[in-house]
Structure 1
Amino acid sequence: MSSLSRWDHELRLLFEDGTVGDAAFDQNEWRGVFAPLRDPDVFAQVRVDLQAGTIVWPVDLDMAPEALHVQAREHQIAAPARAS
């Protein structure tokens, strides 16, 4: 995963294989260790950790990149054509 855009509990992710897609999260489903992500201000602190290859939050949380890739592929966005 190389980049992301974010808005209210939804992320647009760009993966190294060229997949670009949206991952939407229902803030009411965050439970247990993920409960802090219900707060939009906490969720907005998401960033890509290139070393880990996934998204992370400063509250010591991350997501499995494989699950994010599946969700992004299910909600895939056409990537802009690359200039040659």
Structure 2
Amino acid sequence: METQATILLVTSAEYVGNYTLLCTSNNGEKKKVDLLPLLNLPAYAELKDEDEFLRYGVDDTVFWASGADIAPEYLFDNGVPC
């Protein structure tokens, strides 16, 4: 019998300060993810403005009003368990 791998999705994200999100995934794990290093990349540069950073939403991953988003796998792999 084959088992299917579960696709990792973000179910919620809470801003905890200093460009860090507490992300909960569909496997029940919570991880605190520091996104400050990403803000040096062109795709995320406008998120250095904290007001813009706070305009995020969750729809299977974290996304921003600017159109930027982050793969759930990145959040999971780079987060610290809580």
Shorter-chain TM-score bucket reads 0.7 to 0.9
Give the alignment's TM-score, normalised by structure 2: 0.78
Q: Gapped runs of 5+ residues in structure 2?
A: 1-9
Runs of 4 or more, structure 1, over 6 Å off, are none
Identical-pair percentage: 24
Deviation at 1:27, TM superposition (A): 5.9
Deviation at 1:20, TM superposition (A): 0.4
Where is the strand percentage greater, Structure 1 or Structure 2?
2
Give the alignment's TM-score, normalised by structure 1: 0.77
CA RMSD for the aligned pairs? Answer: 1.6
Deviation at 1:19, TM superposition (A): 0.8
Q: Among residues 30, 55, 60, which one is paired with 2:67 in the alignment?
A: 60
**Separation in structure 2 between the aligned mates of residue 62 and residue 28 of structure 1, nearest angstrom:** 11
**Separation in structure 2 between the aligned mates of residue 47 and residue 31 of structure 1, nearest angstrom:** 20
Deviates more, 1:30-39 or 1:53-62: 30-39
Aligned position for 2:18: 8
**Separation in structure 2 between the aligned mates of residue 27 and residue 9 of structure 1, nearest angstrom:** 9
